[in-house]
C-alpha cells in the first residue's frame, strides 16, 4: 500500500502544477477523513488497531478521493467522501479483503450524487495569463457542451492549455512502476485502457463519439486504469475474468461519457463492473489461472 501512495506522487505533483496547491489540501483532507473513519470503525472491532490500520488501505482510498475531487470544493467534501468510502465501501462488507466494490469509487459516487454542485467545476489550468483563476468546464464538459452549442448555435470558450494529458501521463508513470514491481496487475490496467479505446474507436467510426485518444488522455481513465481498477479486492480472480472485467469497465466509461448524464463515467462504470465481478469470476475464472 505504501508503494501505491509513492506511485501517486507524480500525479499529485502534476495536478498541483496544473491546478494549484489546493490539490494537496484536498488529498490531505481525504486521507485524514479516511484514517479517522478507519480508526473509529476498527476500534469497535476486535483486531488490534495499530496493526489493522497500518496496512495503508484507508490512506490510499483517501488520497484517491482527494485527487478525484476538484480543488475548488470545500475540504469537508473530500473528507466526507473518504470517510463514507471507508465505512460503507469497505467495513460494511467485512473490512479489508472483503469488499466487492472499490471503496474510493463508492465514496466518490456518494459525494457526487449528494453534492453535485460542489463537484461541478474544475479550475482552469494555470498559465492562462494574468487572471488568477477562472472556473471553466473540463475538456470533457467542453466536449459535451460544444456539441450542444453547435446544435444550438452558441459559441463556447475553449481553454488553450489542456493539462489533462500531462496529468494522465503522470498517473501512467506511477502506475507503470507499480506494475513493474508487481504491486498492480497489468492485465487490469491494460484491460481498462483497451476497453476504452475499442469502445471509443467503434463509436468514433460510427461518428457517434470522440476519438479514442481523447477518451484515453482526458478525465480519469489513466488514473482509473492504474490506480482504481487495479484494486485486487474488488476485482475477480483469474486472468481471463480480470481482463473482461476491466474491459467492461472501460466500455461503460465511454458509454456513460457519450450517452449518459455525467461528464466522466469512470466511477459508475467501475462500480457497475464491480457488481459483475463475482459472476465473471464464476464463469471465466476457471479453477486455476
Partner 1 sequence: MLRAMPGPGPARRPTTDAAVVSQDIVRLPVPEQLLVPLLRGRQRVTVAAGDRVMAGEIIVAPVDDHAVGALAPLDVVVSGERTIGTATALVLAPLAGALPGPVLPPPGDDPAALIRRVRAAGVRGYGGGGFPTFLKLREGRERAIRCLVINAVECEPELASDAALLADDAVGVLAGARAAARAAGATRIVLATAHPDTASATMLSGQGVEVLGIEAGYPGGDERMLAPHVTERRLATGERPTAAGVLVLNVATVHAVGLVAAGLVPCRRFVTVLADGATSRCVVDVVMGTPVSEVLRLVGPAPHDSMTSEGGRMMPRRIEDPSWPVSPTTTGIVVSPSIPTAEQPCIRCGLCVPVCPVDLAPDRIWRALESAATEDARPLGVEACTGCRCCDVVCPSGIALGAAFRRAAADLRESDSMAAAAERARVRFERHEARAQARAERARERRPRRSTGGSRGAVEAIVARARKRRSRSDAGRADLVRHDRSGPGDDE
**Whether 78 contacts 65, CB under 8 Å:** yes
Q: Name the maximum alpha-carbon separation found in the chain.
A: 63
Identify which of residues 97 and 127 has a Cβ nearer to partner 1 in the complex: 97
Assess 285 for contact with partner 1 (CB under 8 A): yes
**Whether 236 contacts 289, CB under 8 Å:** no
Among 21, 44, 46, 51, binds partner 1 (CB under 8 A): 51
- CB-count exposure of residue 73 (10 Å: 0-12, 13-18, 19+): buried
Q: Report the alpha-carbon distance of residue 229 to residue 186 in Å, rounded.
A: 10
Among 117, 182, 206, 261, binds partner 1 (CB under 8 A): 182
Binding mask 53-82 for partner 1 (x = CB under 8 A): --x-x-------------------------
Assess 185 for contact with partner 1 (CB under 8 A): yes
Identify which of residues 174 and 285 has a Cβ nearer to partner 1 in the complex: 285
Three-state secondary structure of 51-90 = HHHCCCHHHHHHHHHHHHCCCCCCHHHHHHHHHHHHHHHC
- CB-count exposure of residue 224 (10 Å: 0-12, 13-18, 19+): buried
Identify which of residues 12 and 53 has a Cβ nearer to partner 1 in the complex: 53
Among 20, 95, 165, 190, binds partner 1 (CB under 8 A): 95
Minimum distance of partner 1 from residue 68's CB (angstroms): 22
Assess 288 for contact with partner 1 (CB under 8 A): yes
Assess 46 for contact with partner 1 (CB under 8 A): no
- Grid cell, residue 49, equals 488497531
Assess 117 for contact with partner 1 (CB under 8 A): no
Identify which of residues 231 and 264 has a Cβ nearer to partner 1 in the complex: 231
Among 169, 233, 272, 283, binds partner 1 (CB under 8 A): 233
- Grid cell, residue 13, equals 505533483
Locate all alpha helices (DSSP H) within the chain, ordered by sequence.
2-19, 22-44, 49-53, 57-68, 75-89, 103-114, 139-152, 164-180, 186-205, 212-217, 221-223, 239-259, 266-284
Assess 283 for contact with partner 1 (CB under 8 A): no
Number of residues that bind partner 1 (CB under 8 A): 19
Identify which of residues 167 and 235 has a Cβ nearer to partner 1 in the complex: 235
Q: Which residues make beta-bridge pairs with 136?
A: 122
Assess 232 for contact with partner 1 (CB under 8 A): yes
Q: Report the alpha-carbon distance of residue 75 to residue 34 in Å, rounded.
A: 13
Contacting range for partner 1; rule: CB under 8 A; set: 29-37, 145-153, 213-221, 231-239: 231-239
Assess 44 for contact with partner 1 (CB under 8 A): no
Q: Which of 68, 61, 43 is nearest to 222 (CA)?
A: 68
Identify which of residues 174 and 238 has a Cβ nearer to partner 1 in the complex: 238
Minimum distance of partner 1 from residue 42's CB (angstroms): 12
Q: Which residues make beta-bridge pairs with 123?
A: 135
Contact positions vs partner 1 (CB under 8 A): 51-52, 55, 57, 95-98, 182, 185, 232-233, 235, 237-238, 285, 287-289
Amino acid at each position: 500500500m505504501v508503494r501505491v501512495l509513492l506511485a501517486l506522487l507524480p500525479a499529485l505533483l502534476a495536478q498541483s502544477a496544473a491546478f494549484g496547491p489546493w490539490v494537496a489540501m484536498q488529498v490531505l483532507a481525504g486521507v485524514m477523513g479516511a484514517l479517522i473513519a478507519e480508526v473509529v470503525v476498527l476500534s469497535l472491532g476486535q483486531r488490534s488497531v495499530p496493526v489493522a490500520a497500518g496496512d495503508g488501505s484507508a490512506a490510499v482510498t483517501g488520497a484517491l478521493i482527494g485527487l478525484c475531487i476538484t480543488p475548488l470544493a470545500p475540504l469537508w467534501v473530500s473528507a466526507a467522501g473518504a470517510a463514507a468510502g471507508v465505512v460503507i465501501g469497505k467495513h460494511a462488507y467485512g473490512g479489508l479483503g472483503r469488499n466487492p466494490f472499490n471503496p474510493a469509487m463508492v465514496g466518490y459516487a456518494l459525494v457526487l450524487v449528494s453534492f453535485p454542485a460542489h463537484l461541478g467545476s474544475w479550475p482552469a489550468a494555470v498559465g492562462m495569463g494574468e487572471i488568477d483563476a477562472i472556473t471553466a468546464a473540463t475538456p470533457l464538459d467542453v466536449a459535451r457542451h460544444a456539441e450542444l452549442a453547435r446544435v444550438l448555435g452558441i459559441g463556447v470558450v475553449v481553454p488553450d492549455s489542456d493539462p489533462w494529458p500531462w496529468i494522465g501521463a503522470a498517473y501512467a508513470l506511477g502506475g507503470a512502476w507499480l506494475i513493474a514491481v508487481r504491486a498492480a496487475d497489468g492485465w487490469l490496467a491494460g484491460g481498462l485502457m483497451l476497453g476504452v479505446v475499442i469502445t471509443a474507436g467503434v463509436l468514433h467510426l460510427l461518428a457517434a463519439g470522440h476519438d479514442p485518444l481523447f477518451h484515453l488522455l482526458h478525465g480519469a481513465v489513466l488514473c482509473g486504469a492504474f490506480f482504481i481498477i487495479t484494486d485486487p479486492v474488488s476485482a475477480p480472480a483469474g486472468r481471463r475474468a480480470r481482463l473482461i472485467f476491466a474491459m467492461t469497465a472501460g466500455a461503460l466509461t465511454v458509454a456513460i461519457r457519450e450517452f449518459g448524464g455525467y461528464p466522466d463515467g469512470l466511477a459508475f462504470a467501475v462500480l457497475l463492473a464491480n457488481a459483475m465481478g463475482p459472476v465473471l469470476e464464476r464463469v471465466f475464472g476457471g479453477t486455476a489461472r
